[in-house]
Structure 1
Amino acid sequence: MLSLATRLIPAWLRQYKLSALPTDVIAGLVVGVLVIPQSLGYAVLAGLPPVYGLYAAIVPVMVYAWIGSSNIQAVGPVAITAIMTASSLHPYAAEGAQQYVLMASLLSLMVGAMLSLAGWLKLGWIMQFISRGVSAGFISGAAVLIFISQLKYLTAIPIAGNGLFGYLSSMQLYARQLHPLTLLIGVIAFALLVANRYGSQWVWQSWLPSIYAKWAERLFPLILLGIAIVMSMSLHWTTNGVATIGSIPQGLPTFTFPYVPNFDVALNLLPSAGLMALIVFVSSSSVASNYARLRGESFNANRELTGLGFANIAGGFFQSFAVAGGFSRTAINADSGAKTPVASLVTVMVMIAALIAFGNALAPLPYAILGATIMASIISLIDITTLKSAWQRDRLDAASFMAAFVGVLIFGLNTGLVIGLMVSFASLIWQSSKPHVAIVGQLAGTGHFRNINRHDVLTFSHLLMLRIDESLFFGNSESVHRRVIHATQRYPQAYEIVLIMSAVNHIDLTGQEMLISLNKELLIQDKHLNFSFIKGPVMDIIENTPVITDLSGHVYLSTMDAVDALKDI
């Protein structure tokens, strides 16, 4: 029984301390209350009725709390999954509202299945192959598209499209449908939310104590939502043409099978689901691993895959669209004192209460308020800081950022991400194809060897030492061969050539053939090829090959041994 409990009951629950309960409850209540308008808005962003934002914050959150990797990550509807859902299902929007809703659940199920499979195959390491530039560029491009897409709620213009040009062209085409009162409501709400979010030091901190200013800033969106509902009822905005969300169905999400029109449609959604699964994992893992590091906790990427996978699978059967770990809601959860996933379970209780008791109260809320809420919150995802940093420190990563960013704006989310990944991998290959090969000398009186262009070192006329600072593989072998030959031409009097292999962690077949060819070429010139500092795993690969058996020189344990043996020859 103990082993069964160990497998089924998470460690945080078995080891739960009641002293953490008060802060967990407070954090859960705070997050639940503050993200209600955000959840409603993200459902609208996904092309779904607002109530599905609350549905997405119930069953998936409970499942992740039970088996996820992070103790405080707040999972739920987020901007990226919402806009990717809308983008993926855009061709099927005309099939009817009910079918669209069920296809959104199908997409969640597919994303969850892929994440779960990746967790079972222990593919957590794949996160390493998404560069910072690509992820930041993709999220920034998506944020711009999200911002523009929400203009339809602030203007009443039916903006639609898959990229920047589609949105702009539809805006121009239907510009005459602009509704002045809706625009006024949306612009005022957006201005107030931006001032609250980015001007807190003037809006709140100038006249409130720090702790009260902090809570005033957090509660303001909820207060604005309440004011908008009251004004909508008293000023009869609905009868004046302002679109409102209407009555939200009361009751909890029910078990429902996702809609699969036919096999071809599911097959067409597969690439979108794969890219969404990748983004869900990368974004959620970034948040979870960061807080795990700050809190001194362990982070298991494979368990994170499994937790996110099962959360989305469960959501697919309970009227949810794809969910992920949220940046802002996790930050609020942590700042509010959350210690364990109990806080997330309390948040679920808040969502359930909202569905059961407050559905009709939200009916007069204008869509313009939800659009303004999303636009104000999404600005922070446009990551100019990373672009500036990459431009100053790593132009290739900056190129990956711009490729993903521009690709998303022009071609849409899926194609933009693929373009960014291709540029990132191309830059990686380009860097690997140009390895650093340094001519080194000995620091006087020591056993250390350094680049002759950076240090004042001792060299030997007949001895040429070169350090290869990269593993040898098919992509760089020709470049290394060319640089070694060029060095021997610069120092024609050197007839003992030593390749320092301390940075070589692997040699593939092409690299081995290059070394064999180099050895023969130098031997024809009466020069001998020697190796020093070959690592054990590399020697295991080449010790019984012509790289070693036909070597014209010797293999030395260290570069100092090579110098001692060859300097007087």
Structure 2
Amino acid sequence: MATIAARLIPRWLRQYQFSILPTDVVAGLVVGVLVIPQSLGYAVLAGLPPVYGLYAAIVPVIVYAWIGSSNVQAVGPAAVTAIMTASALHPYADQGAEQYVLMAGLLALMVGALLWLAGQLKLGWIMQFISRGVSAGFVSGAAVLIFISQLKYLTGIPIAGNGLVGYLSSMLMYARQLHPLTLLIGVSAFTLMVMNRYGKQWVWQSWLSPTYAKWAERLFPLILLGIAIILSMSLHWTTKGVATIGSIPQGLPTFTLPYLPDFREALNLLPTAGLMALIAFVSSSSVASAYARLRGETFDANRELTGLGLANLAGGLFQSFPIAGGFSRTAINVDSGAKTPLASLVTVLVMVIALIAFGNALAPLPYAILGATIMAAIIGLIDVTTLKSAWQRDRLDAASFIAAFIGVLVFGLNTGLIIGLMVSFASLIWQSSQPHVAIVGQLADSGHFRNINRHDVITYHNLLIIRIDESLFFGNSEAVHRRVLQATQQYPEAHEIILIMAAVNHIDLTAQEMLSTLNKELAIKNKHLHFSFIKGPVMDIIGETPLMNELTGQVYLSTIDAVDALKGI
């Protein structure tokens, strides 16, 4: 029984120290209060009634707090998963709100199942293959689309589409439906939000202490929400054509059986569900692993997959849409003093209270305020800094960023991500096919050997020492073969060719055949091929092959041994 209890009760709760209870409670209260407007806005972004943003911040958060890998990550509705939900379910928008809600729950179930299955298969390593350029380009492109999509709430124009062209064309087509009062409310709120977020040194820090300025900045969206509700009621904005969220149903999310689609519908949703699962995992694990390093904790990517998967599965059964770890809410959670997932459970309590007690109070809130909130928050996700850094240091990663960014804007989220991944993998293949091969010489009287183009080294007229800095496989074997032959033509007097294999961790069959051919070609020219510093696992592979049986030279333990033995020949 004790073993079963230990498995069911998470370690953080079994080892909980009550001395940190006050900080967890405060952090949970702060996050819960501050993300209410954000949660409502993300539900609207997903094409759902606002209340579903609060639903998505209850059951999935409880499950992740119990099972997830991070002690401080705050999961819930996220901008990228919200807009991907809207994009995936766009064909169902005309089939009624009830059908759309059920499809959103189904999508959460599919995302959760894929994440959970990936966790069981120990696929956490897949995160390593999503380059920084691809993820940053995708998120930046999605941020631009999110920003533009919210213009319909600030203008009253029914903007729709999957890409930039679709959004802009629909805006031009229905421009006459612009609602001046809605535009005034939305632009005013957006301006105030931007000033609060990016002009805090003038708005707050010029007259408040750093501590009070920080809290003023965080509380401002909530204060603005309250002011908008009061103005909407007193000035009767609803009767003047301003769209408001209306009465929010009171009560908690209920257990809802998933919608069972036909095979074709499920097949159509599966690619989007797979991409959403990938993005949710990458974004969540990035946040969780970063804070784990800062806190000196371990991060288990497979446990993160399992926790995030079960959170989405549970959410899909309790009126949620796909969720992920949130950058901003996690930062607030940590900065407010959160130590354990208990803070997230307190946040859930705040959401429950909001649903039970304050549903009717939110009814007069204009959609324009929610749109402005999302637009102001989303600007920070347009990652210009990463693009500049990649352009200066790694043009291939910059190309992946640009490909993902433009692909998302032109073709939509799913196709844009695939384009970015294809460019990233193409650059990886290109890099692998261009291995670094250096001609080296000896540093003074030491046993070290360095590139002759970078260091003042000693060379020997009868020796050509070449260092191969990559593993050898079918993708780069021809490039290595060509580079070695070019070096022998450049130094025709050298008849002893030494290949330093210290950086070679594997030699596949194609590369073995290439080396055998090279050995024969050098022998025809009265040159001998030698190897130095072959690792044990590599020697296990090539030890009994024709390459070693027909080798015209020798295999040396170290390069200095090879030089000492051959320089006098």
C-alpha distance in structure 2 between counterparts of 1:419 and 1:315, whole Å: 30
Calculate the aligned-residue CA RMSD, in Å. 0.6
Query: How do residues 340-359 of structure 1 correspond to structure 2 at under 5 angstroms?
Result: 340-359=340-359
The Cα shift of 1:271 comes to 0.5
Q: What's the counterpart of residue 338 of structure 2?
A: 338
Q: What's the counterpart of residue 371 of structure 2?
A: 371
Q: What's the counterpart of residue 441 of structure 2?
A: 441
Contact 1:440 1:450 in 2 (8 A): yes
Query: How do residues 212-251 of structure 1 correspond to structure 2 at under 5 angstroms?
Result: 212-251=212-251
The Cα shift of 1:78 comes to 0.5
Q: Which moved more, 1:515-524 or 1:379-388?
A: 515-524
User: Which letter maps to 1:343?
Assistant: A
C-alpha distance in structure 2 between counterparts of 1:539 and 1:105, whole Å: 55
Q: What's the counterpart of residue 189 of structure 1?
A: 189
Does residue 141 in structure 1 map to residue 141 in structure 2?
yes
1:223-246 per-position Cα deviation (integer Å, ceiling 9, x unaligned): 000000000000000000000000
Q: What's the counterpart of residue 286 of structure 2?
A: 286
Query: How do residues 339-488 of structure 1 correspond to structure 2 at under 5 angstroms?
Result: 339-488=339-488
What SS does structure 1 have at the residue aligned with 2:450? strand
Q: What's the counterpart of residue 316 of structure 2?
A: 316
C-alpha distance in structure 2 between counterparts of 1:499 and 1:5, whole Å: 59
Q: Which moved more, 1:253-262 or 1:389-398?
A: 253-262
Determine what percentage of the aligned residue pairs are the same residue.
Answer: 83
TM-score (norm 1): 0.99
Q: Which runs of 5+ in 1 are unaligned?
A: none
Contact 1:103 1:260 in 2 (8 A): no
The Cα shift of 1:8 comes to 1.7
C-alpha distance in structure 2 between counterparts of 1:347 and 1:122, whole Å: 30
The Cα shift of 1:95 comes to 1.6
Query: How do residues 66-145 of structure 1 correspond to structure 2 at under 5 angstroms?
Result: 66-145=66-145
User: Which letter maps to 2:323?
Assistant: V
Q: What's the counterpart of residue 51 of structure 2?
A: 51
1:52-81 per-position Cα deviation (integer Å, ceiling 9, x unaligned): 000000000000000100000000001000
What SS does structure 2 have at the residue aligned with 1:239? helix
Q: Which moved more, 1:41-50 or 1:85-94?
A: 85-94
User: Which letter maps to 1:514?
Assistant: M
1:285-336 per-position Cα deviation (integer Å, ceiling 9, x unaligned): 0000000001111100000000000000000100000000000000000000
Q: Which runs of 5+ in 2 are unaligned?
A: none
What SS does structure 1 have at the residue aligned with 2:239? coil
What SS does structure 1 have at the residue aligned with 2:499? strand
C-alpha distance in structure 2 between counterparts of 1:438 and 1:2, whole Å: 61
C-alpha distance in structure 2 between counterparts of 1:91 and 1:246, whole Å: 25
The Cα shift of 1:88 comes to 0.8
1:516-549 per-position Cα deviation (integer Å, ceiling 9, x unaligned): 1111111111111110111111111111111212
The Cα shift of 1:507 comes to 1.1
Contact 1:408 1:417 in 2 (8 A): yes
Does residue 42 in structure 1 map to residue 42 in structure 2?
yes
The Cα shift of 1:504 comes to 0.7
Does residue 538 in structure 1 map to residue 538 in structure 2?
yes
The Cα shift of 1:258 comes to 1.9
User: Which letter maps to 2:148?
Assistant: I
Contact 1:442 1:450 in 2 (8 A): yes
C-alpha distance in structure 1 between counterparts of 2:522 and 2:320, whole Å: 67
Q: What's the counterpart of residue 205 of structure 1?
A: 205
The Cα shift of 1:472 comes to 0.5
1:356-377 per-position Cα deviation (integer Å, ceiling 9, x unaligned): 0000000000000000000000
The Cα shift of 1:260 comes to 2.6
1:346-395 per-position Cα deviation (integer Å, ceiling 9, x unaligned): 00000000000000000000000000000000000000000000000011
1:435-472 per-position Cα deviation (integer Å, ceiling 9, x unaligned): 11000010111000000111111111111010001111
The Cα shift of 1:2 comes to 2.8
Q: What's the counterpart of residue 523 of structure 1?
A: 523
What SS does structure 2 have at the residue aligned with 1:438? strand
User: Which letter maps to 1:389?
Assistant: S
C-alpha distance in structure 2 between counterparts of 1:266 and 1:312, whole Å: 17
User: Which letter maps to 2:75?
Assistant: V
C-alpha distance in structure 1 between counterparts of 2:432 and 2:403, whole Å: 20
What SS does structure 2 have at the residue aligned with 1:312? helix
C-alpha distance in structure 2 between counterparts of 1:527 and 1:4, whole Å: 70
1:490-536 per-position Cα deviation (integer Å, ceiling 9, x unaligned): 11111110100111111111111111111111111111111011111
Runs of 4+ displaced beyond 2 Å: none
C-alpha distance in structure 1 between counterparts of 2:93 and 2:544, whole Å: 63
1:241-299 per-position Cα deviation (integer Å, ceiling 9, x unaligned): 00000000001001111213311101110000000000000000000000000111110
C-alpha distance in structure 2 between counterparts of 1:343 and 1:395, whole Å: 42
Q: What's the counterpart of residue 164 of structure 1?
A: 164
C-alpha distance in structure 1 between counterparts of 2:408 and 2:296, whole Å: 36
1:473-504 per-position Cα deviation (integer Å, ceiling 9, x unaligned): 11100000000000001111111101001111
